[in-house]
Amino acid sequence: MSGEAAGATTGQQGTAGQGTAEQASGQQGTAENGTAEQGAADRGAAEQGAAEQAVAEQGAGQRGAVDAAAPWGTEDVNSAAWQLPWPESPASGTGRPERADLEVAFAAGIRRTGALMQLMGQAAADRIGINATDLNCLNILSFSGHMTAGELARATGLTTASITGVIDRLEEAGFVHRDRDPHDRRRVVVRIVMDKAVGEVASVFLPMLRAWREMSAQYSDDELRLIVDFYGQMEQVFREHIVRLRDS
């Protein structure tokens, strides 16, 4: 082999060796850079997870403080059993999953609201110093201001003897008084004593009524009309099923 050929061969080998070394160095740098970026991403994800966990724990602490102030056990009100569907739950249907979830949440919300209203009624009755049945009768009577004993019995589903006991207790407490119907002396009209009711009953509910008003201020007139219409339809549903249960 001539000197020039040997030199060319040596030069090619050197160039190839240099290229191989540079390629290996580049791959190593890329790998190290990727490892560093992955490490930074992992640290970022860990920091984000820690932050989210802290926020979740803070929220849980706030909810716990509210639950601790409630007059019932937290495990009772917040238990998963409140969320369980019943046999004809929308969750068992064939509709869109999103719609089914909304319908389950809708029904569960009504159930929770109904239970909480009963608990509120009991707590208010305890504060006023009467029983929950008497308070409910007084509430029904307050819509018109006066009813006969028979009308109140039909409205509440109580027997004549039971409604007589309710009226006796409310009259003794000063919340109602009996009058003879001027058109039919055989009929006894039960009238609410407004000053007494406002002073001792309405005052107990006033903070909650103010909270409702503040809540309603978040909605437009059209939205409130929709809510009022919803409650009107719910009232009709309740009336129909009260009749169904009483007559069956």
* pLDDT digits 0-9 by tens, 110-155: 999 999 999 999 999 999 999 999 999 999 999 999 999 999 999 9
Whole-prediction pTM value?
A: 0.63
Instruction: Specify the length of the chain in residues.
Output: 248
Q: What is the DSSP letter of 82?
A: G
The pLDDT of residue 100: 86
Please report the beta strands in the chain, taking only residues with DSSP state E, as ranges in sequence order.
146-148, 176-181, 184-192
SS3 assignment, position 187: strand
Query: Which of 140, 152, 219 lies closest to 188 in space, CA to CA?
Result: 152
Residue 83 or 10, more confident: 83
The pLDDT of residue 155: 93
Residue 244 or 96, more confident: 244
Q: What is the mean pLDDT of the chain?
A: 76
pLDDT class for 53, splitting at 50, 70, 90?
low
CA angle 118, 121, 124 (to 5 degrees): 150
Listed in sequence order, the residues at least 6 apart from 11 whose beta carbon sits closer than 8 Å to its beta carbon are none
Residue 191 or 81, more confident: 191
**pLDDT exceeding 70 applies to what percent of the chain?**
62
For residues 168-183, give the mean pLDDT. 93
The pLDDT of residue 10: 41
For residues 172-182, give the mean pLDDT. 93
For residues 161-182, give the mean pLDDT. 94
For residues 69-74, give the mean pLDDT. 46
The pLDDT of residue 185: 79
The pLDDT of residue 27: 47
